[in-house]
Amino acid sequence: MIQRIKLVKTCAATSTSTRWFCKEIVSCLALLCLIACTPQSKESSIDQTLAFGVEKVKSSANMITSYDRMPRRIPAGETEWQTVGLHDWTSGFWPGVLWYAYEASGDESLKQAAEKFTEPLAIIAQSTADDHDIGFQIYCSFGNGYRLTGNEAYKAVMLQAADTLATLYNPIVGSIHSWPKKKEFPHNTIIDNMMNLELLFWASKNGGSQQLYEIAEQHAETTRKTLVRSDFTTYHVGLFDTLDGHFIKGITHQGYADDSQWARGQAWGIYGFAMSHRETGRADFLETSKKLADVFMSLLPEDGIPYWDFNDPDISHAPKDASAAAIAACGMLELAELLDDPQEKSKYKSAAIALIDRLSTDEYLSRAQNPAILLHSTGHKPKGKEIDVPIIYADYYFMEALLRLRKLDK
């Protein structure tokens, strides 16, 4: 500014043509000044939110120093993470958040923390599979670690985990038994399980058996035919006959009702089918993901973030689920990357940006309230657990969505 004033003074004392030239320079400077002062561009607002996320993750990492305890939730009214052990289904998300924060910042202290929290989880790959969640536990931790470091020891753990997950496959049904411990159900398969196919697809390309690919493809096919309803909403849980494999019925576990639309289930489906199309090239998986995304968008309330279940009868008082928004945003960005048609690409990218933008407001970002990145997720409403609180997988998929968007824009 001082320089600009000096320039104007100098110009005033010179000839007409020089004055015209000086005026042009002054206009250029004014334009540059205007550009610098306009609101942040999309890219820099993503960078800002990522930087905010990195700082939150760093401060959480300084508070949690038992490497076999992973933050899962901040209970209502509290301001600290409540941690869980390695066998909890969410145990891979915290190391995953650390890897994403390292990816976003290049900060070596985050890499060291990510390694320390990832490595104890190797025992999950070695034990017999308690359930399908081994995919979340290992792919989010070791998977990101391997992608970012190429550490061969991580690859070995992932291959072992894929073989362990595959032991839950039932060829009569054509799907993985998601919750073997729930003895009241015969063979069950849940929509969330779509996400864990990524570990199998990855393993089949990285030294594991071709059978892992076949299991993953068949599981996605069985899910498409049974858990995806004709209106492209989804059941949470499918129950199957163990003798002849037929689909008995769809029910809910974490949603409002058997035939309602649990928001996170729909989001798992969008992401899971887009990823399955990426891995198999199957057009029906792509179509399924697009239609699930269209339904998800059509059901969003005015503020753009889903209620925990789109059919909660007390919808105006129902809690939100920021985690469903973050997962759906990742799935839609995957779709945007996979689609060739420019209009379709832009449709799903814009929808993802709308979700990310809304999550990036002060209503959903925790700011200084607590150590999480996002507020307002709902884990298990029917059980009265984790209602309208920060949950670690919301932070994980939000960081992923921001990183995906940053890459897509480069």
Pick the closer one to ligand GLY by CB: 81 or 268: 268
Residues 360-379 that bind ligand GLY (CB under 6 A): 379
Pick the closer one to ligand GLY by CB: 264 or 349: 264
Residue 133: active-site member: yes
Question: Shortest gap between Cβ of 328 and ligand GLY (angstroms)?
Answer: 13
Question: Shortest gap between Cβ of 72 and ligand GLY (angstroms)?
Answer: 11
252 binds ligand GLY, rule: CB under 6 A? no
Question: Shortest gap between Cβ of 174 and ligand GLY (angstroms)?
Answer: 21
- Alpha-carbon distance of 195 to 202, in angstroms, equals 12
Residues 190-209 that bind ligand GLY (CB under 6 A): 192
Q: How many CB atoms lie within 10 A of CB 358?
A: 17
H helices then E strands: how many in the chain? Answer: 16, 7
How far, CA to CA in Å, does 147 sit from each of 75, 121, 132, 200, 300?
Answer: 32, 17, 22, 15, 34
- Alpha-carbon distance of 220 to 210, in angstroms, equals 16
Pick the closer one to ligand GLY by CB: 263 or 352: 263
Pick the closer one to ligand GLY by CB: 93 or 169: 93
Determine contact, residues 322/376, Cβ cutoff 8 Å.
yes
Q: Which of 131, 133, 312, 321 is catalytic?
A: 133
264 binds ligand GLY, rule: CB under 6 A? yes
Q: How many CB atoms lie within 10 A of CB 373?
A: 30
- Alpha-carbon distance of 314 to 299, in angstroms, equals 15
Residue selected from 49, 91, 226, 254 as contacting ligand GLY according to rule CB under 6 A: 254
Residue 192: active-site member: yes
Question: Shortest gap between Cβ of 281 and ligand GLY (angstroms)?
Answer: 27
Token pair for residue 332? 């839609």
Pick the closer one to ligand GLY by CB: 73 or 278: 73
Question: Shortest gap between Cβ of 192 and ligand GLY (angstroms)?
Answer: 4
Closest residue to ligand GLY in the complex (CB): 192
Residue with structure tokens 């209602």?
387
- Alpha-carbon distance of 141 to 150, in angstroms, equals 13
Among all residues, which ones are annotated catalytic? 133, 192
